[in-house]
Structures are given as C-alpha cells and as structure tokens.
Structure 1
Amino acid sequence: MLPQPRSAARRLLTAAALLALATLLAACGSNTGTSGEAKAAISGDHSSPSAAKSSSAPPKPSKVLMPTGPAAQLSKVRDTAAGPIMMTTLNGAKSGVSGKVWVWLPPQYNDPKYAKTGFPVLTLYAGGQSAGYNTWTDNQLPIQEIDQQLVSQGKAHPFIMIMPVQNLDSAESRALECADIPGQPKIGTWMAEDIPDFVRANFRTVKGRDGWAVMGASTGAFCSAKLALQHPDVFKAAVPIDGYWNPDSPLWKGHEQERQANSPDQLIGAGTADVRMLATAGGANPYETKLVKAWVEKAKAPTTVEYYEQPGGKHLTSDFKKMIPHTLEWLTANTAGPESD
C-alpha cells in the first residue's frame, strides 16, 4: 500500500482522536447529561437511584404509648352522662399496698377514630381521709360531665381520669398523707409508681410526662402538690385546691427528718422540680388565702406556681365544684393533649 500524503494522515489522526474522546464521554457522562446510574458508577456507589431516594430521615418517634399489659379487671360502679365510672383493686407490685382505684375514660377513648390515639392522664385526690371512697367519682364533683362539655367547646382535653383512695383506714390518727411513713404501708410509692404503672399497662397514654397531671382538694391538694414536687419525672402539672402544706399525721412521731422530706412547705422552695402548678384559695377564708399565698411566694425556679382566689369561696365541696371548669382549662393549657402517630 502506498504511503498517504502527510495532510491526509493528520486528518485521520484528528478524526481518531475525536472518536476516542466521544467514546470516553459516552462512557463517563458529562456534568449536564450524566445519568444517575453513570454517576453512581463513577463515584463507586453501586446503589440504585431509587435506593438513594428512599434513605430519607428516620421516622419520628411515637408519642403514643400503647397498653403494655397485663389487663386489670375493671367493674362498672356508676353511669354518668359522660360514660361509666369503673373500679378495680390495685395490688401494688412495688409498694405492697392494696387499694381501690376508680377509672373514667372519655367517650373519645373508645371511638374507632381514636384507636391509635394516646390520651392525657389526670389523677384526682379527694378531701378528708378518702379511705374507700373518692368524691370525684360521684355527683358531688361531676368533673367527668364538665370535662366533656368543655371538650365539645374546644376548651379542654379529654382526660383519662384516675381516682385512687388516699388512706387505708378512716381514722385520722392513721392518716398516711400520701407518703411512705416509716413502719407504715408505702402508699406514697403506690401513688407515685404503682398507679402510673397500672395506667400504662391498661390504657393508651401520651408517652413521657407531658400528658400527666394530678389535682386534689383539701387533703387531696396536699397530696397533689407533694406528689408533683417529689416526682417531676412522672407529673408535669398539679392543681392543689385549697390545700395545706405541712404533714401533721400522728404517724410521723419520731420521724421528723422524713416528715420534712415529705412537706410541700419545704419542697416548694427547693428549686429542684420542673413542674407547673395552680394553687387556689377561697376568698371567704382569710386564713386560707394567707396560707396559700405565702406558700406560692416560696416557689423557686424551675417550679412555677400560679395563684387563683375564688371570689367568696369557702372550704366546701360545693365551692370546689364551681372551680372545676377553670382548673380543667388551666390543666389543658399546661399539659399535652391527645397524640396520634
């Protein structure tokens, strides 16, 4: 074959170079036209584009705690216009205490639309000894009906309501003051640990403490304040209605250090409990208003306490009843509502 002229050879070399370059670009792609598969091959990532897209942020943690079991045996004790009140005897695994607990579930709880919804929990303590009874379970303090009225108006959460006894004996000389008094039944542990365990075992609740509150009147006010201040990991909010703040049961005799450790009057100024409280007093009782105001002024951050004085209010169940709407609205503003996944 005869040698080709030099110009022809140059043209052939240039064409060959262009062809090689085009082939390389086709294999590797360009910044503007490279496919996802090609880019993956270049980078050494052999996962598919669909797999890359699916590796998004992890799912949000659930805010609902489903019942853990075992289920308790609940029996109906009374019907209300807002649904039945149930009762069981709770044998506390941690405290060894056995006592009655009443339960009310808002109508929304059993509505299929809320089957995957967790509800806030409100524990209610009565006045007096409350040995074998609780005034929040009868028409004296119809908090269940009032709650549903406010729910329909968008002013309150539909709370699960838990109403335990406070004492195991009706004699004032045997008052346990919602505490583990040395040598006595550990009802403080029953209230702060066994009862929340019972609720979580049986009902759909809001995970964490944000949906948990406690409220009580008179002696129940003492209990609600004490339990919230001692257990801010369990309760976020408390409403002590017309309460007192110093333990005075004869059973504390010989146990002054323990008595002080269970005194809301001491606990309020410790500045260790991140809880919110609403403390009320009846305006018709100057001694009570002075007592409650002085206690509120002792609060130290992170504890916060609001004061509410009921105009003309007396230390009577009939006046406690009048405050139910206000206390439920306050609790709603200061606790988490129902949560769904």
Structure 2
Amino acid sequence: MGLTSRSLLYTVVFVAVLCVGLTVWLWPRLSGRGALPVLGRLGSILVTQLSIMSVVLLAVNSANSFYGTWGQLLGRYDRSPGQVTAVTDTNTGTTVDAAKGGLIRPASSQSTDRMGLPEGPKDKVGAVESVRLVGRRSNVVEPAFVYLPPQYFQKQYERQRFPVIVAISGYPGGIDNLSKYLQIPKTASELLAAKKMQPTVIVMLRPTIAPPRDTECVDVPGGPQSETYFTKDVPEALRSAYRVGHEASAWGAMGYSSGGTCALELAMRQPSVYPAAAALSADYKIKNDLTTGNLFGGGDEAKQREREHDLIWRLKNLPVPKVSVLVTSSKKGEKNFKETEKFLKAVKEPMFASKIILDEGSHNFTTWRREISPSLEWMSKQLVFPQDVNN
C-alpha cells in the first residue's frame, strides 16, 4: 500500500480502534500486582498511543503530501532534474528608484543574505533587492525580493528593458521560501552562466495580500483585491522603478503549490497581462476553505464566480486563451496527478501546454527543486528579449 493511499490510512485507523478496544477489554486482567501486569499495562498504553499517533501522522501527510512514498519517508530521494515535455505543438544599471511614483520602496526588514549568488560585483553576478511594493488599486503594501541579472548593470544593456517572471510562493509560505528553499536566484544565476536562460528580472511575491487569510489571487467581493494586485498593481509598480518590458510578451508568472494555482489562474483569466505560466504542483480550481473564508460572495453570482475559477470548467465552457502553460506533477506521491491529466486533456488551441511528470515526488521543496531549473528554462523561451529601448 502506498504511503498516501486511503487503504493504508483506513487500515491504520482500524488497527487503532482495535488497539483501544483490546486495551479496554484487557485492562481488568492486567490490574494485578507484579512485574508482568505492570509491563502489560505499559505495553497496552504504548501500542495504543502509537497506533493513534500513526493515524494522525498519516492523515496529515496524506492531506499535505509531505512524503509521497515510503522511499522518501526513509530519505531516499531522486534529485535529478525533471524533463519538460510538450503536450501541444508550439510551432504553428539602475536599482530601485523610490522617487518615481513611490510604488517601489526599499525595505530593510527582509535580508537578502545567502541568496545563493556568487561573490562579486553586480555587473558580474547580479543582485537581489528587498523592497516593498505599493498597490494603488488594491490598497496594500507587500514585501518582495527582486532578482536583477548581471546584464541589468552592464553598459551594453543600459537602454534595454528586460523580461519579467513573477514568482509566487505557496500558502502560508513567504518570499523567503522562494529564495532559500526553492533557490530561485541561485538557479537563475547558474542558468544564466550556462547560457540556458536569457537575462530576466524575477520578482518574488507571496500569494496572499491579507495575511493570515489565503486570498488565492481572487478579487473578493467587498474584500481584498488580490487579482487586481497581481494583474495591475505589480506590473505598474515594477515598470515605474525598473527597466522591464512594457509589452505583455515580456511577462510570465510561475509558482509552487497555491502559488502555482495562482500563476495558472492569472494567465488563463488575464492572458493580456501574463501570456505564460509555469505551475509546480498546482490545483486547477479554487474553493472556499477555512484559510480562505468566503472568496466569491453570495447568491447566484457567487456560484458563477467560483465556476470561473475552475480552470478545467473554463477550458470546456469559455473561449480558450492564447497562452502557454507548463504544469508539473508526479505519478506517485502527488495528489494532483489525475487532475493534471484531466487539465492537459482539456487544453486545446490556441492554448499550448507542456508538462514535467516525475515518476515519484511529493508536495515539498525536494521535489520542486528538481522542477525549478527546467521550469525557468522553459519560461525563458516564452518571453521576448530584448524588449523596447528605454528612452
């Protein structure tokens, strides 16, 4: 039985209930004095507690896919990079300027140490800036890391605008997860050095704009305007302070877990802003839960809004957007594998899809680090560079 299979969980639940029943039944027989009755009582308590804890741990792991297989639980991970497979044919030197509108402000609270970049000057190794991004329409100020490639600081590129990847963490993780655990700046730097990726600005954000609530990149009726933040405020703020592309062809979104869901939702709902998206272990629809609260309001309009955030429903019932997407999953260990297959089967022109399907993986950073390098390579091929000249 697989580590995340329901049959294993049900079996362990049965064993736990059996252990509790046996303990209750045997307890009077173990009530005597002496070493054997005492050892019997201790043994029955220990076995019962272990069985109950096993149920709890298996249920938590099954819900979150921290370990997808027995081998991963024992520390045996395959760390080789994933391979991108096309599903559909696709062949048919200035830093933050706080004065320009004040939409990007330097932040001292977020450390940019240990980002994985090599030592050296900015025009040789690039840089990561810690900033606060001001959303005029969504009325929020959010933390962000901005990775600037070495070319951004080189004289021959001083009049060029760079493509942009908006990288979104999972919930409840913050932007530190993108730099420390997913290692985006380090990986991008290595790919640039190996000429496997074009010079790209990468902004790292969290998916919620109203923590601790999980806003899921949704414009909540009467509440946080998360989709507006990502589709209007983020591009406006970055263009006000950095030399980044003004055309949509230079922009893409990517993320892991709920951040991957967010990236797909943004691309398919707002293709004129993000015509490319890479989603690592994403879901394909957004639903209300304890962390989100009511995202869609009330009445019949709420049901329609929820349907429109179901990406498979959109592919079957609404005009298909002209976007390119990359999705990832694992045959063993990822609970989204079957939904990923359904999503890929529903994709049709003018939309194009590619995939990374691992034989074995889990809902954790060990798996996502195998996917981030090929995902960045794939994304780089979707974005146009150089962009228009900065006058």
Normalised TM-score (structure 1)? 0.73
- Structure with bigger gyration radius: 1
Instruction: Say whether residues 1:70 and 2:101 are aligned partners.
Output: yes
Alignment of 1:155-304 (within 5 A): 155-171=196-212, 174-249=213-288, 250-252=293-295, 254=298, 255-269=302-316, 270-285=318-333, 287-304=335-352
CA 1:116–1:324 in 2, change beyond 3 Å: closer, same or farther? same
Tell me whether 1:324 sits opposite 2:324 in the alignment: no
Q: Using the alignment, how far apart are the partners of 2:169 and 2:334 within structure 1? A: 23
Query: CA 1:204/1:136 → structure 2, altered by over 3 Å: closer, same or farther?
Result: farther
With over 3 angstroms needed to count, the CA separation of the structure-2 counterparts of 1:114 and 1:81, relative to structure 1, is farther
- Whole-Å Cα distance in 2 between the matches of residues 241 and 247 of structure 1? 16
Deviations 1:136-191 (A, max 9, x none): 543201111111211122211221111122224554xx321101011211111011
Query: Structure 1: where are the runs of 5+ without partners?
Result: 1-66
Shift of residue 264, structure 1, vs aligned partner: 2.3
Distance 1:183 1:122, change over 3 A: same
Superposition RMSD in Å: 2.2
Change in Cα spacing, 1:97 to 1:149, as seen in structure 2 (3 Å) is same
C-alpha displacement of 1:244: 0.6
Task: Report the Cα distance in structure 2 between the residues aligned to 1:170 and 1:75, rounded to whole angstroms.
Answer: 19
Higher mean C-alpha displacement, 152-161 vs 215-224? 152-161
What does the per-residue CA deviation read over 1:104-145, in whole Å, with 9 as the maximum and x for residues that have no partner?
Answer: 211221122211111110001111234xx2245432011111
Give the match's secondary structure for 2:249. coil
> Post-superposition shift, 1:241?
0.8
**Alignment match of 1:110 (pick from 150, 153, 157):** 153
For 1:315, which of 363, 369, 374 is the aligned residue? 363
Does the 8 Å CA contact 1:214/1:228 hold for their aligned counterparts?
yes
Rounded Cα–Cα distance in structure 2 between residues aligned with 1:268 and 1:87: 38
In 2, Cα distance between equivalents of 1:169 and 1:202? 24
Q: Does 1:125 align with 2:157?
A: no
| Structure 2 CA distance for aligned equivalents of residues 234 and 296 of structure 1 | 22
Q: Distance in 2 between matches of 1:69 and 1:288?
A: 43
Q: How does 1:44-55 map to 2 (within 5 A)?
A: none
3-state SS, counterpart of residue 95 of structure 1: coil
Instruction: Please say if residues 253 and 277 of structure 2, whose CA atoms lie closer than 8 Å, have aligned partners that are also in contact.
Output: yes
**TM-score, length-normalised on structure 2?**
0.64
Unmatched runs of 5 consecutive residues or more in structure 2? 1-96, 118-125
Asked if 2 retains the 8 angstrom alpha-carbon contact of 1:97 and 1:187, the reply is no
Q: Distance in 2 between matches of 1:91 and 1:156?
A: 29
Which residue number corresponds to residue 190 of structure 2?
A: 149
Q: In the alignment, is the contact (CA less than 8 A) between 2:208 and 2:215 conserved in 1?
A: yes
Q: What amino acid does structure 2 have at the position aligned with 1:259?
A: E
Within 2, Cα distance between the matches of 1:271 and 1:302? 10
Q: State the shift of 1:291 in Å.
A: 1.3
Amino acid in structure 2 at the alignment position of 1:152: A
Quote how far apart the aligned CAs of 1:337 are. Answer: 2.5
Whole-angstrom distance in 2 between the partners of 1:135 and 1:267: 33
Q: How many residues align?
A: 271
Structure 1 window deviating more from structure 2 (154-163 vs 210-219): it is 154-163
Higher relative CO (CA 8 A, sep ≥ 6), structure 1 or 2? 2
Kindly state the Cα deviation for residue 231 of structure 1 after the two structures are TM-superposed.
Answer: 1.0
Secondary structure of 1:118's aligned partner: coil
